[in-house]
Amino acid sequence: MPQNTKKSSIDSSPNPLESIIFGPVRSRRFGLSLGVDLSPSHKQCNFDCVYCELHKAGPMDSMEVVLPPQAVIQAIKQALQVHRAIDVLSFTATGEPTLYPHLYEVITAVTPFLPQGTKSLILSNGSNLVAQKHALNAFDMVKFSLDAVVPSAFKKVDRPSKSLDIAQILQGIREFASSYKGELIAEVLLVQGHNDTQENLYAIAEFLRQIPISRVDLGSIDRPSAYAVKPLSNERLQEMAEIFSGLPLMLPSRVSSKNQDSQDDLAQNPPAKSSPRSKETLLKLIATRPIACDEAAQIFSPQELAQLQTLIAQGAVIIKQQGGNKFYTAKH
């Protein structure tokens, strides 16, 4: 990928460790996961997906605010000294982690410090796999999104940067998959009226059958999203699943967000830390990622829950319904 030549700056948070590292959180599929956010202070992504749980933001081709790699490496090493019993170290971003230009430097520097039995994982939108293949080859697991193969559906659901072309992205996934030695997982997220046509689904399934894939996660929206879009029902997802016959498909089993397992529960649910987060930090967290009401009790300390009530009383945080769940969201 093009190396970023724009300004290099560290997150404005007074504690980079707190903003870069989150968790560990429990994931049904990956176990106990410690998260790394490579863009903790800004949304930086080359997509602007209609279902994004972050705020709307125009897509960018490269990160404009880049964490110094040594700060990321140091934060990860410190966190690994504290959290020795994790199953997975998960790289994400408020945006797209493969846009981080120092990914190779970071993953190769921290891999020797992973506790025995701990795997590395990256959660990507799939647009940049070839450009970052040297870095991605160093990960034990790569999970990528593939919401569309039909070009019109791709533009409608993922709202990509003008420089991106779905044919090139597919070629990139194919090329990367052909030599990657780790576990490759695909995620397909369907949005009503955007990418749920049979034509698109058959094309996705056909594409995935041609590459060595360990698992395909098929799902729909279950959190408040950047745009006003509708999810598919679980019944409809079940019907769609037949199109993916022959593939190692997993459907969401959840009816409540307590069972959530996907990028969300790795990236969206930082648990309570040993010292309570400030009201401002909580507001920033919720503004970035809506938190399910029934998860708040698990991930926030009593002091933080009290702060949350104050934010609600002040009107800074409101409760929104999405599907069968309620979420704390920031009032923009």
Residues in touch with ligand SF4 (CB under 6 A): 45, 47-49, 52, 54, 95-96, 125
- Smallest separation (angstroms) from ligand SF4 to the CB of 314: 28
Q: SS3 of 190, please?
A: strand
- The contacts found for 166-173 with CB under 8 angstroms, 24 or more apart, are 169/126, 169/127, 170/207, 172/126, 172/127, 172/128, 172/129, 172/130, 172/131, 173/126, 173/129, 173/144, 173/146, 173/207, 173/211
Q: Taking Cα atoms as reference points, which of 58, 79, 98, 135 lies closest to residue 270?
A: 79
- Smallest separation (angstroms) from ligand SF4 to the CB of 115: 28
Q: Write out the two tokens for 144.
A: 């990528």
- Smallest separation (angstroms) from ligand SF4 to the CB of 93: 7
Residue 59 or 69: which CB sits closer to ligand SF4? 59
Residue type, 11: D
- Smallest separation (angstroms) from ligand SF4 to the CB of 77: 26
Residue 36 or 73: which CB sits closer to ligand SF4? 36
Residue 48 or 196: which CB sits closer to ligand SF4? 48
Residue 118 or 145: which CB sits closer to ligand SF4? 145
- Smallest separation (angstroms) from ligand SF4 to the CB of 311: 24
Residue 144 or 300: which CB sits closer to ligand SF4? 144
Alpha carbon distances (Å) from 218 to 24, 237, 244: 25, 8, 9
Cα 53 from Cα 222, distance rounded (Å): 10
